[in-house]
Each structure stands twice: as structure tokens, then as C-alpha cells.
Amino acid sequence: MRYLVTGGAGFIGSALIRHLISNTSNEVVNVDKVTYAGNLESLMSVSGSHRYTFEKVDICDADELDRIFRQHEPDVIMHLAAESHVDRSIDGSKVFIETNIVGTYTLLEAARRYWVKLVGERQQAFRFLHVSTDEVFGDLGVSHGRFSEETSYHPSSPYAASKASADHLARAWYRTYKFPTLITNCSNNYGPFHYPEKMIPLMILNALDNKPLPVYGQGLQVRDWLYVEDHCRALCTVVRKGRVGETYNIGGQSEKTNIEVVRILCDLLDEIHPRCLSYHDLITHVVDRPGHDQRYAIDPGKIQEELKWCPQESFESGIRKTVQWYMDNLDWCRKVQNGSYDRHRLGLLEK
């Protein structure tokens, strides 16, 4: 089958493409406009495969999307393209509206125009998977259970609101047009190739540079952590086995406060890369960000029961792999941090 993955140069998208090329016989078309968080070097291990194709296209460009559908004739759409950093959405929300809402609409319509022309088994087998986040559900109290597929939406940030809007569009396209959509809402991902502005890679790299480890407030915000490769396995399971029109929550069942995560990272670095003083001494508490949700927690019971998926990595095993990867791949990190990746982006695209 031929998979069209939007946002394939991003953190989760690139992990998904590496998984598809390395572990299946499927073909993959990567559609990405390569913004600041997109990095084609994350795909170097599979970019030489004859089953991989890259298209530098903005999902808001309807004409280019129509061309891609005509040219590549995909069987599956896995839609991950999105602006995803909460702090950036607070500072400037416009691009989140454009990409996450208008872009999703434009992609849904292009895919629907293509789908209605398919016949027989190809039309019956076609799937559109919209990949979303647990942040659409908003704040979850400390003693209020976990998010299920039936939880009402209460987004707190412009990012979460834009993703909630995209979820509603995907649902409406199924209800109105019988367009074969599926939706997944995942918890916080972590793992290799994560953009350094995100919490876990930021803490690792700051620690290695002996810089402060900034923790919002007291660091008591709770998140459920999911190793990115487990997430990719779940997405592929949903596309193959999920019921059309359904939503599946994907979680790692690894709830941790932010300060717990930072302390675990410090303990690992003290063990793996010791220095004169403990890395714990670098922890610095900073003013909390506006509208910061206290707790997210995913109930993955539906996907576990219906589709027989469960995470293979515990937080302890996954975070150790992650710390080791960043220590072994500092060149990749430095290119992103110092801007040299941005300066060479056009060169990379030409290759």
C-alpha cells in the first residue's frame, strides 16, 4: 500500500516514516513544508529507499495537494502536519489557525475529491487518519480519572483549540460525507529526534551544557508520557484495524509530574555522564505560563481491548534510551540549536 504522511519531517512524523520503511513493505510519500521544527536529517536513514518520496508542499495549497493525489494515488492518509508548541501558540496564534484548522480542511477536501473517484475495493479500503493530542480535553483534576474517547473538549491554549477544531472537522467529514476518517488522541511523546525546545530534550541538552533547567512553577503539572516508537506502532494498528469513524486514545500509562521527569533525567545523567556537582543543582523554578493545564492522563483501554495494542516501553526504559540517543547524537542537536540547520535547509531539500 502507499501511505501519504503529512508532517513527515517533524518529530512524530519522521519516526512514523522510519517505522513504515523499516518494518513494512509499504511505500511512503512525505508531504511537509519543512518549517522550523521540520528536519529532513531525521529521515536520512530511510531517505535512500526506493519506497520513500518527499514532496515539499504546504497542506494549505489545494492545487498542490490535488497534484500529489493524482500523481501518487495513496491508499492511506496519515495526517500529522501541525504547529504544536503551546508557548509559541500563546505568543502568536495565527499560524496555528492557518495550519491546524485551514490546513486540515484543505487536506480533507483534497482527499475527499480523490476518494470519491476511487472504485470498488480501493475506495472501500481507503483511510484518513487524523492524529491529534490529549490537550484538546483541557485540564484534568488530580483525582478526576483519565481522558476517555467520550470526554468533552475543553481546550485551554490556542494550540489545543486549533487541534480540537481539526478533530471536529475530521468527525464532520465522516458524518456528512461518509468519508472514512479515524482520529487518535495521544499523550505527550518523547524519544529520538525531538526538537530541542520541547521539555525533555531541552532539559537533557541544557544539563550537558551546564545551563539552568527551567521548571514552570513548582513543576507539579502531571503528564502521561508515551515513547514515540510505541505511538507509531499504535497509529499503524489503528489504520489497519480501527473502525471507520471511531476515535482511539493512545497513552503510555506513565503519569509523571514535570519535576519528577526532570529529576529522573538528572539521576540518569549523574549515572551516565557524571560531573563534579549533581545535575539536580541546575534545576531552576520559573514563572508559570498562562493557562497551564494541571494534569493530562489518557485511558488507553479502548485501543488495548479492541485492537490489542499496548506500549512496549516503560517510561524507565524509554527515557534511558532517549537520554543515550541525545548524548550519542549531539551533532544533530547542535545544528538545530545554533541555526546551522536553518541555513542549510535549502541545500538539504535540493539533495
- Catalytic annotation, residues: 134-135, 159
The four Cα atoms 94, 98, 102, 107 give a dihedral, to 10 degrees, of -160
Could you give the 3-state DSSP secondary structure of residue 350?
helix
All three cell numbers of 234:
499504535
**Which residues 6+ apart lie within 8 Å of 350 measured at CB?**
none
47 closest CA partner among 288, 349, 338: 349
- Would you say the C-alpha torsion 193, 198, 203, 206 has a positive or negative sign? positive
Partners of residue 255 on adjacent β-strands: 224
Tell me how far apart the alpha carbons of residues 253 and 63 are, in angstroms, rounded to a whole number.
42
Tell me how far apart the alpha carbons of residues 257 and 252 are, in angstroms, rounded to a whole number.
14
What b/e sequence results for 148-182 when a residue is b if at least 16 CB atoms lie within 10 Å of its CB, and e otherwise? Answer: ebebeeebbbbbbbbbbbbbebbeebbeeeebbbb
188 closest CA partner among 35, 295, 285: 295
Whether the Cβ atoms of residue 271 and residue 313 lie closer than 8 Å to each other: no
